[in-house]
Chains A and B, each alone.
Chain A
Amino acid sequence: MKKTSFQFLSLAAILVLTTSISSCKKDSTEDPNPTPVDEPTPAATYDNGVFITCEGAFVGGTGTLSFYNRGTSATSNDIFKTVNGVVLGNLVQSMEIYNGKGYIVVNNADKIEVVNSSTIASDGKISGLSSPRYFLGIDANKGYVSQWGASGANKGVRVINLATKSLGALIPTTASPEKMAKAGNFVYVASSGYENDSVITIINSSTDAVVKTLTVGINPNSVTLDKNGKIWVLCGGKSDSLGVVAGKLVRINTSSNTIEASFNFPNTMDRPQNLTCNKAKDYLYYLSNYSGEINSFSITASSVIPSSIINRGFYSFAIDPADDIIYATSPGNFVGNGYVLRYNAVATFIDSFQVGIIPGGFCFK
């Protein structure tokens, strides 16, 4: 009796194995990823407008790209997915347009998605990066990407071959390099050193060599170029258990690569960030991390007097180089969709529109 049931067992086992193996062969083509309830509608074109990068939910969420059309005032959300059918990935940090291509930096996915800046159709990707932050186009064949590196091991500026989308040399910087600005042949990299360093690295973009480092104020987080060809560095300062250091604005002479002026923030709690310029490049704007206010500062002023122009808890902002309109973001509860609020040059509210989760960066076209 035992013998027969054993035979039965082995027979059944074989039968099941066969079915499971044969079912293994047909790979299901169904997409198991999260599906939107309402598929967003794509815009006709992505010219004449503003791209907004939305980081996405920090834990296990995908970032998205939104587009605001200056002409029709229409907003299109999640356009990368709408056009390409796949998502951008975790933590979309920033986007730059260079030579007709959009470079979307996806921080936690260690990659840059390259798109046609008019259609947003995928043009491949640059992978193998390590916590990339910002992209800067250098010439027809070359781009720079600042990256934090895993454990800070591969920190620096990665040279990218734009034609082959392959990685070139790594130009070392101090810890956590952030924004970059180009003046002539030089690239200025602000490295905040996880809010502990004070170094600007100056790179000769023809040779990819570091020509000089400058010690500015603590936590340099953003850089911009003014109409006089000077580089401005915004140092955020810090406030932790070890003490409070005030923020600082530093002006660099780009001919001699020396510091020619620096201004301390009177309010030590200000923690300024997000330095940007207006269209004429004669006024600097920044965000107070403490209050979320946007402040401005004339490039000819003699001391930093924070003059709050918009008093509201923003997450980030940018100024449209076409018409000086201020775009500022409100991430809401950081879990649901965020908003972009628009203000004119004299800080009068214009309108607002809904974008993806945690809108953090802008790219003007």
Chain B
Amino acid sequence: MDTTIILKAFSVEANRYTQNNPGQKSEKLDSSTIHAPIAQNLSDLLVQSNSFFVKSYGMGSLSTASFRGSSGSQTATLWNGFNLQSPMNGFLDYALIPACFLDEVSLSYGGASALYGSASVGGTILLNNLPKFNTGLHAAVSGSFGSFDNYQQSASVKWSNAKFSFSATAFNHTALNNYPFINTAELDKPKQFQQNAKLKQSGTLLESYLKLNQKQVLSIRFWYQSNQRQIPATIISGATKQIQKDEFYRVNMEWSYRAKQNQSKIRVAYFDERLNFNDPDIPLYSYSRSHTIITEAEDSYFFTEGLYLTLGVNNTFIKALSDGYSTLKPQQNRTAAFAALQINSKNKSWKNKVSVRKEYYGTHQVPFTASFGTEKLFFKLLKVRGNISRNYRLPTFNDLFWTEALAKGNANLKPESGWSGDVGIGQSYAKKKGNINSEISIFASEVKNMIVWQPGVNAIWSPQNVNSVWSRGLEARLDASYMISKILLQLNTKYSHTISKNNERNQTNAATFGKQLFYVPISIFQVEGMVSLKGFKISYLHNYTGKRFTNSENTEYLKSFKIGTITLSKTVTFKKIKFDIYSQFVNIWNEQYQIIAWRPMPLANYVVGLSVRI
């Protein structure tokens, strides 16, 4: 009996992708939020939990995240441990990740390249699908509809016994997104409707897990998705007919072995990602496709329960073709070795972790990275933690291989590199009737050799390692809950303050030196109040995002905005069938705002959803 408990603890501890690493700030998204029938994609989920900035171009449009003053390409996003960022442009569009395909979403703040590799500079988003055994047969269907002809349907079937587990999920989403807005760029400020913003996406996720024996599990996951989106024009340009089609196949397989003193994993993933962009007005038709194979093997050896060493290797092979690469068919083959040592005190009140990683990529200089994190629990309620990490981001294929008449990649680019660190103190106090948790962190980071595209000789644009960014800030959180007879009251608040400045003075950047990075808000504040009673829940979420500069010179900015969201939900059980009814009213104060300059966001809108589970 004892052995089983220890094993269980081990299995969680040794996984870099599902568990908080000592010293690092992390958050797990509430699973009921992820699985609410009105949750559409990862972008929507992140907006609702934001103590960082989600850069969205409008409903259903491109969306990326910025942690602690970094950019979207500096936020590694791992699906079951494999980085989903495009090897071509470095971005991952969170609007293309359906919430119904995710079991668990956790956010890890600060850089952690020694743990997660390239691009884990500002933060890391971990998306996981978890095996479940002995659950029997379950099925769920859900549907939602909302403003602007927004319809989403999903269905899933899950079955498992003690040895085998299978799950299939499919979704379909269509929207017109023809929302009204006031065109303040016109003299007479006419009321207009967003045009060319239709979207249509559908996809399937299949998972199967096989327990070969008590120690070994084999996992296979397959994800196919097709997304077709029109790209709306800004309010300062004429109508457009631009359309983009993203299509991808993602497969991963994993063999895991778990014994008392030893845990091994061999994992492989294959991603085939295609992107078609078509602008019939210019006319421009561009096609690009990338193949990625990631193979990783690691072993953790437990000297004692509180002392274990992980050693591993990772190989990433990428092949891509694009109209932008002309006849080149660039390939990349990188291998990284990594190690981590975790030391916990006997009663686990003090945990430490040292990690190192060295990546080899041809003749390119990739920095050796290391990180150290520590956390200690005092009096069972006060947690003090800190970590420091060296981080890097490799240049993308576009940065290296682009070959066009007026834009050329630069094969000699160095990776962006730097360090980040933070310290935090958290408190948690729980009583029968309620609890109160709080945390405050301060962070700092520096990224050097930032890759910036700029015009050079003969006005040919090419990327150079020019800027460095120096960021620091503060994050605070206070959560409380209290039970009055059968009514549960909850309050969650978050605040972040981020100063992120261009810190390298050179010949060309006199006007941008020492200025806040554009589209990085200095302050973000969120407060949510919730009342629940017998499966009925009502909540109000208030998001405030401070002003953001729209250029590197900081001569222009977008005003702060506040978004109020009311969510009502009710769960009803009827003869083993569970019904979840949700309705959400977004932007109830009818705020007119822009996240990206000249791209209007929708005014007040709603979504209603129902899911049925057996």
Contacts and interface: CB of A to CB of B under 8 A. Distances in A.
B534 interface: yes
B508 interface: yes
B556 A37 contact: yes
Interface of A: 1-2, 5-6, 8-9, 12-13, 16-17, 19-20, 23-24, 26-28, 30-38, 57, 60-62, 84-91, 108-111, 122, 130-131, 150-152, 240, 290-292, 313, 315, 331-337
Contacts of A9: 536, 568, 570, 581
B57 to A, nearest CB: 9
Nearest to B326: A241
Interface in B512-560: 512, 533-536, 538, 550-559
A62 B593 CA distance: 18
Contacts of A26: 590
A89 B237 contact: yes
Contacts of A315: 459
Contacts of A12: 538, 568
A151 B283 CA distance: 5
A108 B237 contact: yes
Contacts of B241: 150
B238 interface: yes
A20 B185 contact: no
A333 B455 contact: yes
Contacts of B236: 62, 87-90, 109
B589 interface: yes
A30 B559 contact: yes
A300 B168 CA distance: 80
A24 B604 contact: yes
Contacts of A108: 237-238
B597 A35 contact: no
Contact of A32 (B186, B459, B592): B592
A155 to B, nearest CB: 12
A355 B338 CA distance: 52
B5 interface: no
Interface of B: 182, 184-187, 234, 236-239, 241, 280-283, 405, 454-455, 458-459, 461, 508, 511-512, 533-536, 538, 550-559, 561, 566, 568, 570, 572, 581, 583, 585, 588-594, 596-600, 603-604, 606
Contacts of B455: 331, 333-334
Contacts of A331: 455
B568 to A, nearest CB: 6
B187 A84 contact: yes
A284 to B, nearest CB: 23
30 contacts: A5-B533, A9-B570, A20-B604, A24-B590, A27-B590, A27-B592, A31-B184, A32-B184, A32-B600, A34-B556, A36-B555, A37-B555, A57-B551, A62-B185, A85-B187, A87-B236, A88-B236, A89-B185, A109-B237, A110-B237, A110-B238, A110-B239, A151-B280, A152-B283, A292-B458, A292-B459, A313-B459, A333-B508, A334-B455, A337-B553
Contact of A335 (B239, B459, B551, B566): B551
B232 to A, nearest CB: 12
Given A5-B570, A290-B458, A334-B455, 15 more contacts: A2-B534, A5-B534, A9-B536, A9-B581, A27-B592, A33-B598, A34-B557, A34-B558, A35-B557, A89-B185, A130-B238, A151-B281, A292-B459, A333-B454, A334-B461
Nearest to B549: A37
A357 B533 CA distance: 57
Contacts of B187: 84-86, 122
Contacts of B590: 23-24, 26-28
A33 B597 contact: yes
A151 B280 CA distance: 6
A12 B238 CA distance: 43
Q: How would you classify the secondary structure of chain A's contact residues: helix, strand, loop or mixed?
A: loop
Nearest to A239: B405
B511 A60 contact: no
Contact of A336 (B281, B534, B552): B552
Nearest to A25: B590
Contacts of A6: 570
**Which 4 pairs show the lowest CB-CB distances between chains A and B?**
A110-B238, A90-B237, A150-B281, A89-B236
A138 B515 CA distance: 48
A87 B555 contact: no
Given A24-B590, A31-B184, A335-B552, A60 B557 contact: no
A16 B604 contact: no
Interface centre among B280, B405, B570, B583 (most CB of A within 10 A): B570
- Give the interface SS of chain B, mostly helix, strand, loop or mixed: loop
A363 to B, nearest CB: 21
Given A151-B281, A151-B283, A28 B597 contact: no
A2 B241 CA distance: 51
A122 B187 CA distance: 9
Contacts of B185: 33, 62, 86-87, 89
Nearest to A38: B555
Contact of B598 (A30, A62, A84): A62
A203 to B, nearest CB: 25
A150 B280 contact: yes
Contacts of A33: 184-185, 558, 594, 597-598
Nearest to A132: B238
Nearest to A241: B326
Contacts of A130: 238
A35 B558 contact: yes
Contact of B511 (A16, A32, A336): A336
Given A27-B182, A62-B236, A122-B187, A37 B536 contact: no
A28 B534 contact: no
Nearest to A6: B570
B245 to A, nearest CB: 19
B573 to A, nearest CB: 10
Nearest to B518: A335
A145 B505 CA distance: 45
A336 B566 contact: no
Contacts of B604: 20, 23-24
Contacts of A61: 597
Nearest to A108: B237
A88 B572 CA distance: 55
A90 B552 CA distance: 19
A87 B186 CA distance: 8
Contacts of A313: 458-459
A90 B280 CA distance: 19
Contacts of B238: 108-111, 130
Among A1, A87, A122, the one with the most B-chain Cβ atoms within 10 Å of its Cβ is A87
Contacts of A60: 234, 596-599
Contacts of B535: 5
Contacts of B554: 37
Contacts of A111: 238
B210 to A, nearest CB: 42
Contacts of B570: 5-6, 9
A146 B52 CA distance: 47
A6 B599 CA distance: 40
B529 to A, nearest CB: 14
A151 B242 CA distance: 12
A91 B600 CA distance: 19
Nearest to A26: B590
Nearest to B608: A13
Nearest to A335: B552
A32 B594 CA distance: 6
A311 B585 CA distance: 61
A57 B458 CA distance: 19
A115 to B, nearest CB: 11
A35 B593 CA distance: 12
Nearest to A354: B511
Contacts of A57: 551
Contacts of A291: 458
A164 B262 CA distance: 83
A35 B556 contact: yes
Contacts of B559: 30, 32, 35
Nearest to A315: B459
